[in-house]
Chain A
Amino acid sequence: MSHTDELYLGKTSYQVLGKRPVRHDGADKVTGKAVYAADVQLPNMAHGKIVRSPHAHARIKSIDVSEAVKIPGVFAVVTAADFPNLERRSEVMGEGGPVNLAHMAANCLAMGKVLYKGHPVAAVAAANVHLAEEAAAKIKVEYEVLPSVTWVLDAMKDDAPLLHEDLRTDSMGKKGDRPTNVALHLQFEKGNIAEGFQQADIVVEREFRTASVHQGYIEPHATVALWNEDNRLKIWASTQGAFNCRQQVAQLLQIPVSQCLVVPCEIGGGFGGKIAVYLEPVAALLSRKCGRPVKLVMQRNEVFEATGPTPGSFLRVKLGATKDGKLTAGEAWLAYDCGAFPGGVIAPGCMCVFSCYELPNARVDGFDVLDNKPKTQAYRAPGATQAAFACEQVIDELAEALGIDPLEFRLKNAASEGTRRFDGPVYPRVGLVECLHAAKHSYHWKSPLSGANRGRGIAAGFWFNIGLASSCSGSVNGDGVVTLVEGSTDIGGTRTSIAMQLAETLGIGAADVLPQVGDTDSVGFTFLTGGSRTTFATGLAAYKLGLDLQAQMQERAATIWECEPAAVEVKYGVYSRNGQSLTFKELAGKISELGLDPVVGRASVSPEGSTNAFGVHIADVEVDPETGKVTVLRYTAIQDAGKAVHPSYVEGQMQGGAVQGIGWALNEEYFFDRKDQMRNASFLDYRMPTCLDVPMIETIIVEVPNPSHPFGVRGVGETPIVAPPATIANAIHKATGVRMTVLPISPPALWKALSEKS
């Protein structure tokens, strides 16, 4: 049996997978040598500054740049007029569906109207950033201020200020007949909900609201663009996907994709917020105009005010159950804002709201709603956290009303292999039941919790995870080290988790693979790092690359031993025949020494389907009744990771997602004043949790192998953010008897609720 044949589903003994090697990029990152986009310095480089709208909604009457361009050292000014005509052009860009290019361009530089405070209006390039700022201040924009709206239900009203006068509601190809801010109406129905609710002994219906929150990545957006004399455009970017960045820029500028080269720099966090382009096309336009490389770097307030937050939302969820705790029917009505342009995350919100449960009858309505906020973007399992906040609290309330333990209630109704989702498809092998069992038997769940104002909550969460295209290539060096070039931007240590899968396939150590992230000219098309896909899909490409390299090594060994390649046996990186054997490293040396054909391999994949990840979280909280402040005493995240390739990175994702979810639950919100201006656009006032705010997040990795990957790998990164707000809310209810249905559960909000109760 060859080593390849042993790579079967369910194998538990691996040489590399499941170990915790040092990450390949670790030294550069902890010593400050890693290169981020803002670090890029080029000869004669100009520095740019964006002019932004001071209003939430206004018509642009005029833009006068005459004073700005007179300043010595100012090289170029651009406005929306510098974009090509993109009217009625749309482009499918990967998983998220069609993108209206005119809208995308207008988000980079406003066309005709500004739709949120901070909306870019013009950009200037100058010899240094100070001159650029001075010139930006000299650009005169005359506005006609319009009424604005930032709450999703207000934006749905008939008399709401309209953001796009030509917009009509789309209901799967059927257009509405009047102007509106409701861009999309989705509907799903399974079974008969009227009959389902009739079968129920108890029905609970509640309404929920969530505020917009930001992904909060530590590195602000930054880019350098160089439009060369040969008309080739080169961009250094902080992006989750070099190829997606390239496609967006090429489409917006109407140039062939091959004319544009994107170099993905190291990235200081993305979480879904670094998929859409903001600065890159603007820097490109400036560079083309002034003939120099141009750098643009956002300040923190620009990140908050002009890049994608997650939607603010309103949800109504109704569930019915029998006395013995079986769910009979569910109904949900979800309205998510999408900010200034259509195309939010309402679809996954709808599709996730009941995804943890076996529900025979269900109906879900969802609405994508425009308002005067930045265009919303994905944030780890986009749309699912708001949905779980609502559904998991109603589940908890049903369990309490029926006198059933909340964990047991979830177990009674948990989705498993064969469960038909309410939106149609049937689950393959999934791990929710295993996660619930792991929770039930955890030290945390079994430990006592005593003391006044303390409570324990539990909630479940789901995210689809995706596949899509990935490519990589590799070459075997004479010293036996394999150089791996892959196309996925490294977020969360994915270089290493991909390298480990190549090492496992070849039977060599993780340190004997040198991974690097290639630019768009150096590696085949690879979809972005997002959708929890990278370790799964690019890892699958690395596995296939390993098979390619191994076959070539076999062939070279056969040349050396003068036999057929099939006669060479391979086991754990040792090539042998008739008592002769060479390790991978020795064979690599022989190939180099004898001048045989170099071993160079490549692989590309495009796996279909979801890898379906479930998680269950447990939280212990203590509430200060005097102030409403919530202290998280203990927190455990449990998740089905399929095969955990590098357990430390899996734990890191679970901990990071949990902490972000705790921030979403307790602190974070876009706070708008009466003029719909964000008033907390800094990390001082937009309060994300620090290590002082949360306990050590305990983790339990459940490994239910994914049947669609040779090592059983599932995606990991997004699911951990789904359950936390519901988990915290359920714990607060246990601690106080108060059911908190609005996020964030800030001290004033909880104090008010406690006061009303008492």
Chain B
Amino acid sequence: MPVVFIPTPLRDITAGTAEVTVEGNTVRAVVDALEQRYPGIKTRLCRGDSLSPGLQVSIDHVMTTRGLRATVRPDSEVHFLPVIGGG
């Protein structure tokens, strides 16, 4: 199952747990699975039907632009990180 690294500001919801293993083959499914286990976490990660616009997701160490639609493999690592811009 994919491993989700819980962002530090959201660990108040996971009682300090930093890494969580959940089912899901897309980021959307992973977020839904997180919400099942930690109610309230989805509203911190998402806005409506999209990833929160201030966040980006890294799957297997590659930032993806596909947001909640991105594919997650059973052995994937998922990180939610702030968006960044270059100059």
Contact = CB atoms under 8 A, between A and B. Distances in A.
Interface of A is mostly: loop
B85 A94 contact: yes
B25 to A, nearest CB: 18
Interface residues of B, number: 29
B63 A382 contact: no
A530 B7 contact: no
Interface string B70-87: 000000010101111111
A174 B84 contact: no
Given A424-B79, A608-B63, A347 B84 contact: yes
Contacts of B86: 95, 272, 348, 378, 381-382, 463-466, 530-533, 718
Contact of B53 (A92, A464, A718): A92
Contacts of A531: 85-87
Contact of B44 (A173, A270, A272): A173
A357 interface: no
A188 B5 CA distance: 11
Contacts of B18: 189
Among B53, B61, B62, B82, the one with the most A-chain Cβ atoms within 10 Å of its Cβ is: B82
Interface of B is mostly: mixed
Contact of B8 (A187, A377, A466): A187
A350 B82 CA distance: 10
Contact of B9 (A96, A171, A464, A466): A171
A426 interface: yes
Contact of B63 (A94, A189, A609): A609
Contacts of A608: 62-66
B36 interface: no
A268 to B, nearest CB: 16
Nearest to B52: A173
A171 B81 CA distance: 12
A174 B87 contact: no
B54 interface: yes
Nearest to B63: A609
Contact of A351 (B7, B55, B62, B81): B81
Contact of B65 (A90, A97, A468): A468
A52 to B, nearest CB: 25
Contacts of A692: none
Interface string A311-354: 00000000000000000000000000000000001011011000
A507 B63 CA distance: 33
B30 interface: no
Nearest to A533: B86
Contacts of B5: 424
B85 A95 contact: yes
A610 B63 contact: yes
Contact of B87 (A97, A189, A272, A351): A272
A271 interface: yes
A532 B86 CA distance: 7
B61 A428 contact: yes
